[in-house]
Each structure stands twice: as C-alpha cells, then as structure tokens.
Amino acid sequence: TPPGLLGPADVRRLSTVLGVRPTKTLGQNFVHDAGTVRRIVRAAGVAPGDVVLEVGPGLGSLTLALLEAGAHVVAVEIDPPLARALAATVAERMPDAVGRLDVLTADAMTVRGPADLPGPVAPNRLVANLPYNVAVPVLLTLLRNLPSVTDVLVMVQAEVADRLAAPPGSRTYGVPSAKAAWYASAERAGTISRTVFWPVPNVDSALVRLRRRPAPATTATREEVFAVVDAAFAQRRKTLRAALAGWAGSPAAAEEALRAAGVEPSERGEKLAIADFARIAEHRPSPRG
Ligand code: SAM
C-alpha cells in the first residue's frame, strides 16, 4: 500500500532529494507529524466535496492530510522546486488522490480572484500552515479577493493568532483584529508544539479559525473604513481625537466626526469594534475651502 502522510524520515529524505534548504524569509518550517496535520484537517472540518485552498504546501505534509479527508486541494506555493515536486509526492504516496490536486506556482498575495486559481470551482475553504512573516497580509488579501472562501483554519505564530481573535478592548486588539473582523469572526482553535516542525521555529504556533460573515452595514467603502483603522492605531496611546486629526483635517474636525458617529473623542482606538470604525468613516468631513 502507498505510504500516505509524511513522517520525520520522509521530510528529511524529501528535502534532501529536492535540495531544499529551508529559508526563514519564506517561513519554511515543515510539519513532520501525521497526528498534527490530521488534527488541523479535523479542526477545519474538511469533508469530501470541499475545495480547499492551501497556501504554502511546502513538502506536502498538510496537502496529503487534506487529500486523505477527501477534499480537492488547490495549492499555491511560491517556491518553484517545492511547487514542482508536489504532484510527484502525492502520486507516490496517495496515488488515488492525484486527480484532486491542482498546483499554482505563485505568491499567494498576487491572487486577485478565483480566475487566477486552477481547480474545478472556486475554493470554499482556506486551510494552511501560513508562512509566519506574511500571515496577516496573505490572510487579508485572500479574504478580500476570494469571497467564495467562507471557512478558514490557519496555523500562525501564537501572537498573531491572539491578535486575529482579540475582541475590542483587549490588550492584543489592533489593526489585524479590526480588519479581519470586517470579513469574519475569529477564534483560537488550539496550539501546536514547535517540535512537530523541521526546522524547529523559535516561536510558538497556534490555530485560528475564521468564519465569514456579512461586512458591517455601512455606506462607507472598505478602503474608507480601513483608512480609519490604520489612522486610529498608528499611534496606539493617542486619543481618537488626536490620532484622527490628520484623517479629518484637524483635531476639531476629528472631534466633530467622532461625536457625529457617537464615539467619545477621548476614547482610544483599541476600544472600537469594526462597526464603530465604519460609522466614523461615514462622517469623514469633506475638505473645505
Ligand atoms: N504546509 C507545509 C507544512 O505544513 O509543512 C509548509 C508550511 S511552511 C510554514 C510555509 C510555506 O509557504 C513554505 O512552503 C513556503 O515556501 C511557502 N510560502 C512562503 N511565502 C509564500 C507566499 N507568499 N505565497 C505562497 N507560498 C508561500
């Protein structure tokens, strides 16, 4: 019978055969534990019929587990040698699943819409062990550009998972929390030991689950709302009146917009939910004179 999921010896052998020298810049830490990738797939709730977008398949550890669960996998890998080897790895280890794999060699940040992806239909899920340094921009880009993705389960650095799932008012609430909340609700979904990776990373990892929900009802555009979020958090310790002075034109104009939106001008950005930022965006004063 074909060997199936990758273990420690497989990860070592594959990287040797492919001449892979894992780089920090691309966040290349490969999972060599079958229990871990199965746990991720289970936490994601992947079932036959799902079309799963996987960013950064690497050597194929998670890809094989997604295929094992019956999904069709659309894998987007930036590193050409890894992207090229993926189909052969699946053919060798899970031959029956080869027809359910599509591979795109690309930077996930450049995916502008479903037309940029191979695969039978647009993906309904994103499941990935994201490269650490670009996890948040990749996630926000894909939520923006792929509305068909309604369910997300990603492995990220533990601090990033905290930030994504943080509610307004909590210590880790910030730009990623507020922007992710435009698209989805987010919650932590467990931690992952660093020992399941090769090479062993120097940060802890965690799972975060996001479920798409309607954007807040507002007449402002997403760009307009995100501009308020960026300004509000640019200087964390400032009051909103001061932080939004540049955005509004003056502290007085900021105060007026905040009051019109029903937000206390002496409040700080970390107290506001995405719907509050949207209301503020609606009251941006138009430039005068
Ligand atoms: N999924 C594999 C696993 O669990 O073992 C590998 C995960 S590793 C943390 C991240 C992977 O993302 C690497 O294979 C890396 O080459 C790839 N990667 C890094 N930046 C990327 C980007 N912008 N777009 C697509 N893939 C990227």
Helix ranges, the chain (H): 8-18, 34-44, 61-68, 80-93, 135-145, 158-165, 175-183, 222-234, 240-243, 245-248, 251-260, 274-282
DSSP state of 116: G
Task: For residue 37, give the ligand 1 atom closest to its CA.
Answer: 4
Residue 161, CB half-sphere, CA atoms under 13 Å: how many?
Answer: 22
pLDDT band at residue 2 under the 50/70/90 scheme: confident
pLDDT band at residue 1 under the 50/70/90 scheme: confident
Residue in 31, 38, 62, 77 to alter for ligand 1 test, most ligand atoms within 8 A of Cβ: 77
Cα distance between residue 271 and residue 280, in whole Å = 13
Write down the mean pLDDT value for the chain: 97
Is ipTM strictly over 0.95? yes
Question: Is 124 a residue whose pLDDT tops 50?
Answer: yes
**Each residue's pLDDT tens digit, 41-95:** 999 999 999 999 999 999 999 999 999 999 999 999 999 999 999 999 999 999 9
Phi and psi torsions of 152, nearest 5°: -130, 135
The residue assigned the tokens 């030991």 is: 193
Q: Is 60 in the pocket of ligand 1 (CB under 6 A)?
A: no
Q: Which amino acid is at 92?
A: E
pLDDT band at residue 236 under the 50/70/90 scheme: confident
**DSSP secondary structure string, 136-171?**
HHHHHHHHHH-TT--EEEEEEEHHHHHHHHPPTTST
**Each residue's pLDDT tens digit, 144-166:** 999 999 999 999 999 999 999 99
Q: Is 141 in the pocket of ligand 1 (CB under 6 A)?
A: no
Cα distance between residue 205 and residue 59, in whole Å = 19
- Tally Cβ neighbours within 10 Å of residue 155: 29
Residue 147, CB half-sphere, CA atoms under 13 Å: how many?
Answer: 3
C-alpha triplet 223, 226, 229: angle, nearest 5°: 160
| H/E segment holding residue 72 | strand 72-77
pLDDT in the model for residue 288? 61
Cα distance between residue 101 and residue 75, in whole Å = 7
Q: Is 215 in the pocket of ligand 1 (CB under 6 A)?
A: no
Which of 27, 30, 33 is CA-nearest to residue 16? 30
Which of 109, 129, 120, 155 is CA-nearest to residue 62? 129
Cα distance between residue 132 and residue 65, in whole Å = 21
**Each residue's pLDDT tens digit, 264-278:** 999 999 999 999 999
Task: For residue 54, give the ligand 1 atom closest to its CA.
Answer: 1
- 186, β-bridge pairs: 210
Is 197 in a helix, a strand, or coil? strand
Q: Is 53 in the pocket of ligand 1 (CB under 6 A)?
A: no
Residues 24/117, Cβ–Cβ less than 8 Å:
no
**Each residue's pLDDT tens digit, 168-194:** 999 999 999 999 999 999 999 999 999
Q: Residue with the nearest Cα to atom 14 of ligand 1?
A: 58
Higher pLDDT among residues 268 and 235, named by residue? 268
Cα distance between residue 146 and residue 108, in whole Å = 12
